[in-house]
Amino acid sequence: MKLWTTLLAGVAAAAFATQVAAQEEIVFGISAATGSLQQRTAAEFTKRANEKLGDKAVVKLFDSSQLGKDQEMLQKLKLGTLQISLPSSIMSSISDQFALFDMPFLVADRDHMGRIEAEIFWPDIAPTVEGNGYKVLAVWENGVRHISNNERPINTPADLEGIKIRTPKSTWRVKMFEEYGANPTPMAFSEVFTALQTGVIDGQENPYTNIEAAKLNEVQKYLSKTGHVYSPAYPTMGKRTYDNMDPEIRDVLEQTAREMEAWAREQGAADDEALEKELVDGGMEFNVADRAAFVEASKPVYAAFAEEVDGGQDMIDRAIGLANGS
């Protein structure tokens, strides 16, 4: 009897091991820090997807650049060693069309962003990265970007003259800050805190949620509310991984990613007000920049985008036309 019980236990253990081994593991790597909007959205997505997937697959989330910087994770997506990542501004280095969202002051508000997504992003922008080996699942939020630095309050573009400011690895973000007179320095987000702390750079530009989550307020004196860019974030897979994945699993991932769009924007709107107060109460010197002066200084960026990017002027015109709900 004891032998029979032992044999049964062994069979059960083997069956369980086979079931576990059969469960597909979907690794989701992001650069955003714990507590940021991007990380919270990714965590909520992971929770919801796993509830729907049951024993078919499991999504495992790794934040704070644990699996590499954004550029490294994009390469891993193509190689198939990473299943999902969450690039933001860096996508404009894959396709110039994504740089529509680097055009300063283009997105009026989150409702406007939703219309741009439906009318321009999905038909005209998202497909442009597929030839490079990527598949975008949804449009989440990075957020509305503002400037912090250690030199002086930024009221007009002239105040940025000579300031070493970190930007994402986006050609068009660099062009924008060059037009403003700054010295833009592309850098991985994971390196920003130390670079600010050691004086390698003077400032940076990010949504409040990223500033707070990465504790950049601890190494920055001035916070200037510019709202110069609204940055989406894109849950993205390698195209080969997407095409070869079990359709049932892939559909859960894609549908859940789309579900998270409204959640992310609602959370982002709540963060805007609460985190501004938190950062100011925490000791940062705050000012509201002269929007009109920045809009005027941004005109050459629009002109360059219209001239250099295929379909650039048409996308700009259509996006602006959607601002009033038309």
Scanning the chain, the segments in alpha helix (DSSP H) are: 2-22, 37-53, 70-79, 110-116, 171-179, 192-198, 208-213, 239-244, 247-281, 291-297, 299-308, 312-321
Residue 7 maps to a domain: no
61: domain CATH number is: 3.40.190.170
The predicted pLDDT at position 23 comes to 84
Query: What's the pLDDT score for residue 60?
Result: 98
Q: Tell me, yes or no, whether 240 lies in a domain.
A: yes
* Domain membership flag for residue 11: no
Range of the structural domain that residue 112 is part of: 23-324
Determine the Cα–Cα distance for residues 105 and 127; give it in Å rounded to an integer: 24
84-136 pLDDT tens trace: 999 999 999 999 999 999 999 999 999 999 999 999 999 999 999 999 999 99
| SS3 state at 211 | helix
How deeply is 56 buried, as exposed, middle or buried, from its count of CB atoms within 10 A (0-12, 13-18, 19+)?
middle
Distance from C-alpha of 42 to C-alpha of 129, rounded to nearest angstrom: 21
Backbone angles phi, psi at 19, to 5 degrees: -65, -45
- Side chain identity, residue 186: P
In a domain, 142, yes or no: yes
* pLDDT score, position 14: 46
Q: Is 15 a member of any domain?
A: no
What is residue 41's three-state secondary structure?
A: helix
Q: In which region does residue 325 sit, left (phi positive, over 0), alpha (psi from -120 to 50) or beta (all else)?
A: left
Is 8 part of a structural domain of the chain? Answer: no
Domain count, the chain: 1
Cβ contact 134:94 at 8 Å: yes
β 140-149/222-225 pair status: antiparallel
Q: What is the pLDDT of residue 324?
A: 85
Q: Looking at the domain assignment, is residue 17 inside a domain?
A: no
The structure's pTM equals: 0.92
* pLDDT < 50 stretches in the chain: 3, 7-8, 11-21
* Residue 4, in any domain of the structure: no
